[in-house]
Amino acid sequence: MTQADGTDRTTDPAPGEESAPAVEDRPGRLLGLRHWGRDSRGSTTWRRGLVVAGLALLTAVLLAFHAEVPNGVGNLGSLLETFLPWLGLAVPLLLVPALLRRSATALIALLVPAVLWLNLFGSLLTDKNGGSGDFTVVSHNVAAENTDVSGTVRRLVDSGAQIVALEELAGRALPGYETGLAAAYPYHAIEGTVGLWSKYPIADVTPVDLRMGWTRAFRARVTTPQGPLAVYVAHLPSVRLKAEGGFTVDQRDVSAQALGDAIQAEQVKKVLLLGDLNGTMNDRSLAPITSQMRSAQGAAGDGFGFSWPSAFPMARIDQIMSKGGLKPVDSRTLARDGSDHLAVAATYRYAS
């Protein structure tokens, strides 16, 4: 209302009524921005959440420089690289305290590991199916303690694969695999605890010395309608995580070098590697192999394709890799059976 002197005076609210907030304050209230100012102790949104921001940046450093984490103590570098994709969980976990603390600093810091993770693994989240191919292969660690051999055989046959590689073939279970797969796969070869079944002829079977003292790998020549393939089947030594000694991988690494040397010396142009390598594509210790071969999962998969342990897969240690004019057009895991691994499958097309 207007006073006698011509000045305005704000009308006091009637009893029981609340005064309306200032117009310029309403957007801040609607967005909750007022709560992002100073807290009861006087800290601003930029000063709060520094610990959360520090953890976010540490996660980013591990993602960006995982190859620099030394293996000298407990093979920590290889352990980190085996489960590297799981570092991405730090982002949503740290997001909760960042929001509770209403920390702009922490939220901005979380963008760094989020971007790095997407740069490393974002492509795995898209469907890269490339259409039909010329043949399908399956690799499966069937597990020595598998009590459902017939169920495993049924899943392998139903996969429609033309070539099947099996690892950890136990003596008592072996006849079940040979008998069960015979009708669908007329050709097969077994060396030690690994085997190969094929709809195409197999020849020139030669053990590969993994420097273990017994046979867990071999090379064979498979003649497909499109031409010959050199197929390597391998089961690298197991790794262990121990309280004393850390991540024990020494024998696995020696065998990886031996297998890589054998593949590098291969004379056949088109090469496939099928097997349980007890390591992921991120693990630097498998570089003798991964530096010269292409992962089917990375090139044609949809998702991470984790294969172990089958009850709750956390890492893809079962691999299908190729080089020399073989184009992967599909990659997947098969349904769980009696093994502690999931079978992995890939479809390939011959490239010119």
Q: What are residue 308's phi and psi, to 5 degrees? A: -145, 145
| CB-CB contact of 325 with 350 (8 Å) | yes
Q: What is the pLDDT of residues 45-82, one digit of tens each?
A: 888 999 999 999 999 999 999 999 998 777 888 889 99
Residue 240 has pLDDT above 80, yes or no: no
Residue 145's alpha-carbon distances to 174, 215, 276, 340, in angstroms, are 12, 19, 16, 9
For 220, other C-beta atoms within 10 Å of its C-beta total 23
Residue 4 has pLDDT above 80, yes or no: no
Q: What is the pLDDT of residues 211-229, one digit of tens each?
A: 999 999 999 999 999 999 9
**Structure token pair of residue 56:** 């976010």
Supply the angle between the helices 50-64 and 90-100 in degrees, to the nearest 10: 160
Q: How far apart are CA 209 and CA 265, in angstroms?
A: 13
* Kind and range of the H or E run holding 117: helix 104-121
The two beta strands, 240-242 and 135-141, are: unpaired
Range scoring the smallest mean pLDDT among 179-188, 249-258, 263-272: 249-258
DSSP 308: B
pTM of the predicted model as reported, rounded to 2 decimal places: 0.85
Identity of the residue numbered 143: A
Tell the residue number behind the tokens 């069960």, with chain if given.
180
pLDDT at 248: 61
Q: What is the pLDDT of residues 126-157, one digit of tens each?
A: 888 888 899 999 999 999 999 999 999 999 99
Tell the residue number behind the tokens 């979380």, with chain if given.
110
pLDDT at 265: 98
Higher-pLDDT residue of 85, 21: 85
Identity of the residue numbered 309: P
Higher-pLDDT residue of 170, 146: 146
The two beta strands, 135-141 and 246-248, are: unpaired
Residue 13 has pLDDT above 60, yes or no: no
Residue 10 has pLDDT above 90, yes or no: no
Q: What is the pLDDT of residues 265-313, one digit of tens each?
A: 999 999 999 999 999 999 999 999 999 999 999 899 889 999 999 999 9
Mean pLDDT of 161-181: 96
The two beta strands, 246-248 and 240-242, are: antiparallel
